[in-house]
Amino acid sequence: MRRQQAVKRYAKMFFNTIEVDAVPKALDELAVVGRVMDKSPHFRGLLENPLFSGADREKAVKQVSGKIGVSDSTAKFVLYLSEQMAVSQLDRVIQTLTALYLEKKKRAKATVVLPVDTGKRYDDFLKPSLKKLTGREVDLEYVVDPSLLGGVVIKVGSTLYDSSLRGQLRLLKDDLIKG
């Protein structure tokens, strides 16, 4: 629980240090840093290991950020997370920062799970419907799950709308059991 509170605190701190319109770019930069950490165990180890000095970390972050085109504010934030021994939570910080940004912009992100790839064919239908449900503009992200036999599952924040075949069968089973 403490770790989640710390992640939220770090995300809020970073969110308050940059302009709201700069958040999408910062999110992309943090994601790039995360991918570099995933691909380079040495870089990850340098950032996560408390035995390395702050000067070593700063030098490494400056070198890597220069090569991958990360802004100074994002590089300083990654360095700060490293000093706080929280850089391992970068994925959670990105998620929290995204939620803060969407909240500020009065937007929501919906994950639409379908059994087959439909492209963006249902955008015109789903966006107005989800806007009516949530009261916010909605950004859609499509995920293909072949194990889903039919229907659709939509997750907006912590709310799940399950109109899949499996979900409908589960509801039917519950009704039959209740009698």
- Is domain 106-178 annotated with CATH 3.40.30? yes
**137 pLDDT band (50/70/90 cuts)?**
confident
Q: Which two tokens stand for residue 174?
A: 């519950």
* Beta-bridge partners for 160: 155
34 close to 119: Cβ distance less than 8 angstroms: no
The average pLDDT across 108-113 equals: 85
- Tracing tokens 């972050």 back to the chain, one arrives at 61
**146 pLDDT band (50/70/90 cuts)?**
confident
* E-only strand ranges, 21-152: 107-114, 137-144
List, edge to edge, every strand of the sheet that includes 159-162: 137-144, 107-114, 153-156, 159-162
- pLDDT for 4 equals 79
**Whether pLDDT at 157 is above 80:** no
Percent of the chain with pLDDT over 90: 3
**7 pLDDT band (50/70/90 cuts)?**
confident
Q: Which CATH entry fits the domain spanning 2-102: 1.10.520, 3.30.420, 1.25.40, 1.10.3470?
A: 1.10.520
- pLDDT for 22 equals 86
pLDDT in tens, 23-58: 889 889 999 989 999 998 888 888 888 888 888 888
**Whether pLDDT at 1 is above 60:** no
- Paired sense of beta strands 107-114 and 137-144, if any: parallel
List the domain boundaries for the chain: 2-102, 106-178
Distance CA 47, CA 41 (A): 10
**6 pLDDT band (50/70/90 cuts)?**
confident
**Whether pLDDT at 59 is above 60:** yes
Q: Which two tokens stand for residue 9?
A: 């605190």
As a whole number, the mean pLDDT across the chain is: 86
- Paired sense of beta strands 159-162 and 153-156, if any: antiparallel
Distance CA 62, CA 75 (A): 7
Backbone angles phi, psi at 85, to 5 degrees: 60, 40
